[in-house]
Chains A and B, each alone.
Chain A
Amino acid sequence: MRKGQYTFVTGFLLVPVALYLVFVIWPYVQTFGYSLTDWKGQSQDFSFVGFDNYAALFEDDVFLGAVWHNILFLVFVPVVTILLALFFAFMVNAGGRSRAGGVAGVAGSKFYKVVYFFPQVLSLAILAVLFGAVYRSDAGGMLNGLLLKLGLIDADQPVEWLNEPDFVLWALVAVVVWHGVGFYLVLFSAAMQSIPRDVYEAALIDGAGRAQSFFKITLPLLWDSVQTAWVYLGIVAMDMFVLVSTMTSGDYGGGPDHHSEVMSTVMMRNFLYFGKSGYACAMGVVMLLLTLIVSVVTLRATRRERLEF
């Protein structure tokens, strides 16, 4: 490097690093500090309680239940979203009938690509309202209306989707998946288009079917994108705050009777509603640790040799 270049680069980095320290790192440190106190959130008098908050966390059934729900989300949201997105992306890009040796998507694939992306442009708040109408618990709900027309349920006994302990989590998974598939479809499509045609053509000549060309060519060459998608979706699954707090019952959601509780909703309720702010900070610290662990594990577990093409 030429002389003076380091000073130049450092000069540019100084501001962002300072901002990062002040607005990201310092709040983390503060949160950890507060998590060791019995702070109530309204004034600055509190006392130090050591690790009592953390000890209490491990006996709090509601919080442990919430951790379990986050783990369920962590498993099902990425798996279902990525599988669906991969399937659709493959069909849209390389799933069509081969015409004269060429490789193309199914008929109307351009149209599908646009349509699948629609959900992604909706904000989470709109999504919550939309699916509120879908899952509405009386005959006015879309699902209930449909089931009624089909004669599968009785008008006096509609399914209270979001008020059923056995359904509520899956109803939420469906919303996240519906929202996410379009985006990852586009992501995977872009990656698939960068795979050279001749690789597919060679496989076709060798007699590979759709399934074989997908598993033997597409997937291995797409691995980087899948890995990224997994990390992003993992972070979505660790959060879930907006949907759970707006769609389910209870203060900051989590109902019925804590069956859809996630860590962030328990935290917010304790922080703002119950005035147990120190305790909520301890939850925040645990959430941070778990999210870090999930990211690291995902990146490690999916690490593979990069294929050059």
Chain B
Amino acid sequence: MGSTSAPNNEGLGRRDLIKRSAALGLISVPTMSFLSACASGGGGDTNTDKPKGEITKDNPFGVAKGGKIDVVVFKGGYGDDYAKAWEASFNKKWGVTATHTGTQEITGKLQPRFNAGNPPDIVDNSGAQKIKIDVLHKSGQLLDLAEVLDAPSVDDPGKKVRDTLIPGTIDAGLQEGKVVALNYIYTVWGLWYSGKLFKEKGWTEPKTWDEFLAICKDATAQGIGGLAHQGKYPYYINVAIMDLIAKTGGLEAMKAIDNLDPKAFVGSDAAKQAVEAIYEVVEKGYLMPGTNGLEHTESQTRWNQYKAVFITSGSWLENEQLKQTPADFDMKFMPMPLLPGSKMPYEAIRAGSGEPFIIPAKAKNLAEAKEFMRMMLSKEWSTLFAKEANSLTILADGVDPSVKLRPGTQSTVEASKRAGTNTFRYLYTEWYSEMDTEIQNASNELMAKRIQPAEWLKRAQAAVDKAAKDPAAKNNRRD
């Protein structure tokens, strides 16, 4: 669940499994011959990568009219309508016809093509069956995207593309110092509520923890749960706990956890304050009844039915709940409320990027692919994405204000504008999955009142100390 792309919860059917394993068997035989072809000194074919069109300021890669582009997109939580809209726009501007593939089987469809040396031109390499980026990079299959990032921006040719992006968002695609994947979707995490419910009850967005508790109290008195969380996946309540720690103790408190500090939890005032605050919600009975055992969709749907005021989640929530959300629900995002003495302002949010787009180094239409990616980072295409997939992109201020977004997405636009540079992002979830799981287990116990905050801190610290014992932990460090 800890991924920035929308969780795709469609399971793998038995029949599919059999079909796929049969397919894999079929693939693996020809793949072997390709591999051996590679091993026996391929590379004889020279890459005919000279631009076909004239290179101008508006056409930095030399795209020729009437060309082709082969686009493969992961069709998961965000669908693939946005890519179709892009392709139509690309055709209109350049007269380039796109071959579109929307699929969940990225590995199954692309591994043979990479091995045969005829990969597509641009790929959204995402989902459960994505091809590992580091593996592709190490086998020399990925184009260094610096060329695209240093090209002039579509909206403002005086600026480089990389300077139009939200700071820090391209780092997620770094491999050995090169950006080889463009993590395109911008995700924010925090609390969500219904604007309609707030208006009805006369509540306003709580900026402090006391105000938050007051609303929970008022709601509980009226038979509405205060806070809902997706109990079966303690990942979600950890969003609340960890955000509170970061906002209370500042970036130092966050880095202490990522860097496996011996005082990351036990001995950290921010952590103590944050966990005690969350436990107060449990102790005072402000949780939505039964929320601790619910699936994420069950819990979110209950919240959509006004059975709880707040819920924790990332910004994929609106798209995920599209069908369950009443038309007048008015979904709203808000940052975690502040505890007394917080080092970060109320507006600070957890934010990061996901959904990696790559350009294969051996793509047949490199110029078109690079231009396609450049246009992805234009305001027009970023807006198209926001409309079709109800999510933001890493383009700073990337949505045309004249476009009417869904209310939840609109509120994340405003929240990230207000946050400015006050954003943070934990990395321990990507680095130490075992530690993450152990902290999640402890949170599950805390929410069920089976352990107290002091015990939670002890268990979380034990998880950190255990992770620190692994010699490989030295390779990960942030300053």
A137 touches B231 (CB 8 A): yes
A17 interfacial by beta-carbon distance below 8 Å: no
A residues 163-185 near B (Cβ < 8 Å) are: 163, 165
A residues 152-168 near B (Cβ < 8 Å) are: 155-158, 160-163, 165
A144 touches B437 (CB 8 A): no
A163 touches B233 (CB 8 A): no
Q: A138–B290 Cα gap in the complex (Å)?
A: 4
| Residues A160 and B444 in contact in the complex (CB < 8 Å), given A137-B293, A155-B289, A249-B232 | no
A-B contact count (CB 8 A): 83
Query: Hey, what's the 0/1 contact readout for B275-299 against A, CB within 8 Å counting as 1?
Result: 0000000000100111111110010
A89 interfacial by beta-carbon distance below 8 Å: no
Across-interface contacts of A132 in B (CB, < 8 A): 295
B441 touches A257 (CB 8 A): yes
Across-interface contacts of B398 in A (CB, < 8 A): none
B290 touches A144 (CB 8 A): yes
CB distance from B264 to the nearest CB of A (A): 20
| Residues A249 and B234 in contact in the complex (CB < 8 Å), given A257-B444, A257-B445 | yes
B residues 123-180 near A (Cβ < 8 Å) are: 132, 135
Closest to B291 in A: A138
B450 interfacial by beta-carbon distance below 8 Å: yes
Q: A257–B289 Cα gap in the complex (Å)?
A: 20
B433 interfacial by beta-carbon distance below 8 Å: yes
| Residues A158 and B290 in contact in the complex (CB < 8 Å), given A274-B434, A275-B433 | yes
B294 touches A138 (CB 8 A): yes
Across-interface contacts of A158 in B (CB, < 8 A): 289-290
A10 interfacial by beta-carbon distance below 8 Å: no
B433 touches A162 (CB 8 A): no
B residues 408-462 near A (Cβ < 8 Å) are: 433-434, 437, 440-442, 444-445, 448, 450
A269 touches B450 (CB 8 A): no
| Residues A256 and B289 in contact in the complex (CB < 8 Å), given A136-B298, A249-B234, A274-B434 | no
Number of interface residues of B (CB under 8 A): 29
A137 touches B294 (CB 8 A): yes
A163 touches B434 (CB 8 A): no
Query: Hey, what's the 0/1 contact readout for B109-120 against A, CB within 8 Å counting as 1?
Result: 000000000000
B11 touches A256 (CB 8 A): no
Q: A258–B433 Cα gap in the complex (Å)?
A: 16
A42 interfacial by beta-carbon distance below 8 Å: yes
B207 interfacial by beta-carbon distance below 8 Å: no
Q: Which of B11, B132, B293 contacts A163 (CB 8 A)?
A: B293
Across-interface contacts of B263 in A (CB, < 8 A): none
B387 interfacial by beta-carbon distance below 8 Å: no
B residues 272-323 near A (Cβ < 8 Å) are: 285, 288-295, 298, 302
Across-interface contacts of B293 in A (CB, < 8 A): 135-138, 160-163, 249
Across-interface contacts of A138 in B (CB, < 8 A): 288-291, 293-294, 298, 302
A195 interfacial by beta-carbon distance below 8 Å: no
Query: Hey, what's the 0/1 contact readout for A244-265 against B, CB within 8 Å counting as 1?
Result: 0000011100011110000000
Q: A50–B440 Cα gap in the complex (Å)?
A: 32
B289 touches A139 (CB 8 A): yes
Q: Counting chain A CB atoms within 10 Å of each CB, which of B11, B294, B450 scores highest?
A: B294
Across-interface contacts of B288 in A (CB, < 8 A): 138
CB distance from B227 to the nearest CB of A (A): 14
A255 touches B441 (CB 8 A): yes
Q: A132–B285 Cα gap in the complex (Å)?
A: 25
A273 interfacial by beta-carbon distance below 8 Å: yes
A125 interfacial by beta-carbon distance below 8 Å: yes
Q: Which of B135, B298, B450 contacts A165 (CB 8 A)?
A: B450
B292 touches A137 (CB 8 A): yes
Closest to B220 in A: A156
Closest to A255 in B: B444
Across-interface contacts of B233 in A (CB, < 8 A): 249
Q: A123–B14 Cα gap in the complex (Å)?
A: 10
Across-interface contacts of A137 in B (CB, < 8 A): 231, 290-294
Q: A141–B290 Cα gap in the complex (Å)?
A: 10
Across-interface contacts of A141 in B (CB, < 8 A): 290
CB distance from B452 to the nearest CB of A (A): 14
Across-interface contacts of B295 in A (CB, < 8 A): 132
Q: A250–B14 Cα gap in the complex (Å)?
A: 23
CB distance from B22 to the nearest CB of A (A): 14
A163 touches B298 (CB 8 A): no
Closest to A256 in B: B444
Q: A144–B290 Cα gap in the complex (Å)?
A: 10
A42 touches B132 (CB 8 A): yes
Across-interface contacts of B302 in A (CB, < 8 A): 138, 140
Q: A257–B292 Cα gap in the complex (Å)?
A: 13
Q: What would 8 more interface pairs be, CB under 8 Å, given A140-B298, A257-B450, A274-B433?
A: A123-B14, A125-B11, A135-B293, A136-B290, A137-B291, A156-B289, A249-B233, A269-B437
22 inter-chain pairs at a CB distance below 8 angstroms, sorted by A residue, are A42-B132, A123-B14, A136-B290, A137-B291, A139-B290, A140-B298, A140-B302, A163-B231, A163-B292, A249-B231, A249-B233, A249-B234, A249-B444, A250-B440, A250-B441, A250-B444, A256-B441, A257-B441, A257-B442, A257-B450, A273-B437, A274-B434
A-B pairs with lowest CB-CB distance, top 9: A137-B293, A138-B290, A160-B293, A163-B293, A137-B290, A158-B290, A249-B232, A274-B434, A156-B289
Which B residues fall within an 8 A CB radius of A? 11, 14, 132, 135, 231-234, 285, 288-295, 298, 302, 433-434, 437, 440-442, 444-445, 448, 450
